Amino acid sequence: MRLKKLVIILAATLGSSLLAGQVMAHEYDIADLHITHPWSRALPPVAKTGAAYLTIVNRGEQADRLLEVTTPVAGHAELHEHIHRDGLMKMQQIETMALPAGSSVSFKPGSYHIMLFDLKQPLVAGEQFPLTLHFEQAGELEVDISVQQDAPADVQAESGEHQHH
Ligand SMILES: [Cu+2]
């Protein structure tokens, strides 16, 4: 009897976590890092470069660092930042991304982003592709990037006029 009860509890737990994964779509945890909503904008099939975005929250008491990202859909991927120089917006590669203890780091349009070069397949709205984050302390985590036509609602609100200063 005891075994049967355990099995039922396990099944219930598994069922609810699967459901949560679908409903909340897109949250990942590894060690003390919490990653939310990895996404990318849909692009025309001819596009050779794209960008991916996500937010990383370090809930721990130790700093970590995002060392690199890899994905089978791109020839290579780089961490980029946007900078203002001579009145122009430019982007440049950053070697690694610091994740201080207690911090939240957002990759979003007009800011830090994951640049995808030499795309090997079209980024079609509604589809997903895997991307692996390599952390100095936490190790490797594969996330699914959601390809969508428009930026998520919260990102659209954030990257409005108020950001331009
Ligand atoms: Cu870039």
Q: Give every CB contact of residue 19 below 8 A, 6+ residues apart in sequence.
A: none
pLDDT at residue 25 in the model:
54
Ligand 1 mean position, distance from CA 40 (Å): 13
More confidently predicted of 32 and 164: 32
pTM listed for this prediction:
0.79
Ligand 1 mean position, distance from CA 121 (Å): 18
Which three-class secondary structure string do you get for 3-23? HHHHHHHHHHHHHHHHHHHHH
Structure confidence by residue, pLDDT tens digits, 105-155: 999 999 999 999 999 999 999 999 999 999 999 999 999 999 999 888 777
pLDDT of residue 19 exceeding 70, the answer is no
Give Rg (Cα) of the chain: 18
Percent of the chain with pLDDT over 90: 70
Ligand 1 mean position, distance from CA 35 (Å): 20
pLDDT at residue 50 in the model:
97
Task: Map out the domains of the chain with their CATH numbers.
Answer: 26-163 (2.60.40.1890)
Apex CA 70: angle with CA 65 and CA 74, to 5°? 145
Ligand 1 mean position, distance from CA 102 (Å): 26
The Cα–Cα gap between 130 and 146 comes to 9
Ligand 1 mean position, distance from CA 17 (Å): 35
Structure confidence by residue, pLDDT tens digits, 37-63: 999 999 999 999 999 999 999 999 999
pLDDT of residue 165 exceeding 70, the answer is no
DSSP class of residue 162? G
Ligand 1 mean position, distance from CA 82 (Å): 7
pLDDT at residue 103 in the model:
97
Ligand 1 mean position, distance from CA 49 (Å): 9
Residues having C-beta closer than 5 Å to ion ligand 1: 80, 91, 115
| Mean of pLDDT over the chain | 85
Tell me how far CA of residue 86 lies from CA of 83, 89, 90, 121, in angstroms. Answer: 10, 8, 10, 35
Q: Which helix (H) or strand (E) holds 154?
A: helix 153-158
Ligand 1 mean position, distance from CA 133 (Å): 17
The Cα–Cα gap between 67 and 69 comes to 7
